[in-house]
Amino acid sequence: MKTLKIAIQKSGRLNEKSVELLKNCGLNFENYKSSLISPVSNFPLEILFLRDDDIPEYVQDGIADLGIVGENVIQETEVDVAYLQPLGFGRCSLKIAIPNNSDISSLASLNGKAIATTYPVILNKYLQSNNIEADIRTISGSVEISPGLGLSDAICDLVSTGGTLKSNGLKPFADVMSSEAVLIGRKGEEDNDLIQELIQRVQSVLRAKETKYVVLNAPKANLDAITALLPGVKSPSVVALAESDWVAVHTVIPERDFWDRISQLKQAGAQGIVVLPIEKIIF
């Protein structure tokens, strides 16, 4: 049986979450902080720990079968890979930012300005799509300090909370793209049985993170109103209680709807609501 290879960041903002995801998929591996390759003991898989900029090309060229990397890196390296699964972590935005005292007031006023970035490919496409001609200055390292040093009039960089911009006297000006971590694969290899099994594991972990398991007590007279609020995976499970006029209802609720649904359930007569985390959901 072929051993798959998956490439993830050796260090950086996606490393910890990538390792956590793989371990939650039931994969056993060790020594990932001191090695470039870590074998998985209970699945035919090896984990490669690489620079994030190298991951898309390793996957495109078949050195790795799979990779976990930010969408921004894929777009910047212009590789041809298959997007297999968004992963819901590492969310950020690539933004153009300007000094607080800048006279730049519209996209058109970027014409002729110097913009420092570590993402010249993405920025160039964005500027072209908006008919803007600017001087793109490629910088590796701390892009935020370039306006203060007189190297640029604006920057284009990843923004998560905006704290780094604020501390350097900058403010967001324009959104270039949104990004999150994605699972990628080599084009044409998506139907591989092992890859599909790993994708299923990943999806089961992600579904579990997005839902809550809920158990509640309900009067039989209110059951229809309560179950109408609880679609569950297919439908809620209803279990008889010792008191003949009451039942226990088991279901799952999407995280995004959780507090609204809880309020609605209480209004419909639900009592003794217990909320539990879910480890995995497999369809």
Say whether pLDDT at 94 is over 70.
Answer: yes
Contact in structure between 89 and 100 (CB atoms under 8 Å): no
65 plus 184 within the same structural domain: yes
The token duo for 58 is 């390793």
204 plus 215 within the same structural domain: no
Count the domains in the chain. 3
82 plus 100 within the same structural domain: no
Terminal-to-terminal C-alpha distance of the chain: 26
192 plus 223 within the same structural domain: no
- What pLDDT sits at residue 231? 66
Say whether pLDDT at 237 is over 90.
Answer: no
- Cα 250 from Cα 257, distance rounded (Å): 16
- What pLDDT sits at residue 232? 59
Mean pLDDT score across all residues of the chain: 91
- What pLDDT sits at residue 233? 58
User: Band of the pLDDT at 57, cuts 50, 70, 90?
Assistant: very high
- Cα 209 from Cα 10, distance rounded (Å): 24
- Cα 121 from Cα 112, distance rounded (Å): 18
- What pLDDT sits at residue 163? 85
145 plus 194 within the same structural domain: no
The residues pairing with 117 across neighbouring beta strands, listed in sequence order, are 138, 156
Task: Using a pLDDT cut of 90, give the percent of the chain over it.
Answer: 67
Question: pTM of the prediction?
Answer: 0.83
Of 14-28, 160-174, 202-216, 251-265, the range with the lowest mean pLDDT is 251-265
75 plus 204 within the same structural domain: yes
Q: Give residue 232's identity as a one-letter amino acid code.
A: G
- Strand positions, DSSP E, 126-209: 135-138, 154-159, 170-179, 181-186
265 plus 151 within the same structural domain: no
